[in-house]
Amino acid sequence: MPAPSPAEQFATLERQGATLRFGMWLFLTSELLLFSGFFALYGAYRATYSADFQAALHHNTLAYGSVNTYVLLTSSFTVALSVSAIRRGAGKAASAWLGLSALFGLAFLVIKAAEYGVHIHEGALPGHWYRFREAPTLGGARFYTLYWITTGAHALHVTGGIGVLLWLAWHARRGRYLPEYHPTFEMGTLYWHFVDVMWIFIWPIFYLT
């Protein structure tokens, strides 16, 4: 497949690729600020209900959350390996790595769903549905409300990310990405890594300390 020519507003293909990646980085800053709202709410409520938050935290499902941390970190690694494969020109290998990453993503969602099941069973639900007896009521309700909306928003991003990975895998398999020019591929992988970065911060504040 011959190298494509740049769109009319770009002088060179390198510049077009760099612009596409830069655009993706800007989009990710925007996404980061979206999650910052959750973190700000968490910070403020933790400042208000410090002891309650720690009590609620120690009743949270640590095992599920921690396994998910390792799952997501590993999926990021396999996504990175798919970029290596694309740079070698091995579209099929890249596709396989992405397929594996998407499976990790799916595993994350399955574990998350099982974890939500535990919460529903315990009554650790948001807002006025909160019935969890083992954590203090006021701070606990705040904690689990934030927990649900934050991890829920994150799970939506994981779902979208799996779609992106599968889309990339499909096109990589058909040899759509050149070893020297594949900005779209990198943009998709950036999105997945970003989802991982968000979990890196969600994990300690809702499960660890």
Partner 1 sequence: MIAVKLEPEPMALPPDYLHAKQGPMSWLTTTDHKRIALMFYGAVLVMFLLGGVFALLFRTELLSPRRDIMDATTYNKLFTWHGIVMVWLFLIPSIPNIFGNFILPLQLGARDLAFPRLNLASFYVYLVGATIVLSGLFAGGTDTGWTFYMPYSENTPVTLFPVVFGIFVVGISSIFTGLNFIATVHMLRAEGMTWRRLPLFTWSIYATSIILVLATPVLGLSLILVGLDHVFHLGVFDPATGGDPVLFQHLFWFYSHPAVYIMILPAMGVISEVVPTFAHRRPSSYAAIALSSLGIAFGGFLAWGHHMFVAGISTLDAGVFGIFSMFVAVFSAIKVFTWVATLYRGDIVFSTPLLYFFGFLFLFVFGGMTGVAVATQSLDVHWHDTYFIVAHFHFIMVGGSLTSFLAAAHYWFPKMFGRLYSERVGLLAASLVFMGFVLTFLPQFLLGNAGMPRRYYSYPAEYQWLHVLSTGGSYLLGSAVLLALGNLALALAYGARSEQNPWEARTFEWLSPSPPPEHNFESPPVIDREPYAFDLSEEQIRARAFPG
Partner 2 sequence: MIGRAEEDENVAKRDAPVTTRHYLYAYAALIVLASASLGLSLLPVHTGLGVALAIGALKAFIVLAWFMHLVQENFGSKVFMFLAGLLVFTLVLLTALDPLTRAPYPPPPAENTVFRRAAH
Binding site for partner 2 (CB under 8 A): 3, 5-6, 12-15, 17-18, 21-22, 25-26, 28-29, 32-33, 36-37, 39-41, 43-48, 62, 66, 69-70, 73-74, 76-77, 79-81, 84, 87, 127-128, 130, 137-138, 180-181, 186, 189-190, 193-194, 196-197, 200-201, 203-205, 207-209
Instruction: Give me the residue label for tokens 């979208």.
Output: 160
Q: Residue from 5, 34, 66, 73 that binds partner 1 (CB under 8 A)?
A: 34
118 binds, among partner 2, partner 1, none (CB under 5 to 8 A by kind): none
Q: How far apart are CA 181 and CA 17, in angstroms?
A: 7
Sequence-distant (6+) residues with CB within 8 A of 12 are 6
Q: Residue from 6, 19, 62, 64 that binds partner 1 (CB under 8 A)?
A: 19
Q: How far apart are CA 117 and CA 160, in angstroms?
A: 22
**Residue 34 φ/ψ, nearest 5 degrees:** -60, -45
Max alpha carbon distance in the chain (Å)? Answer: 65
**Residue 171 φ/ψ, nearest 5 degrees:** -75, -35
What would the two tokens of residue 178 be?
């050149």
Interacting residues toward partner 1 by CB under 8 A: 7-10, 15, 18-19, 22-23, 26-27, 29-31, 33-34, 36-38, 40-41, 44-45, 48-49, 126-128, 130, 137-139, 141-142, 145-146, 149
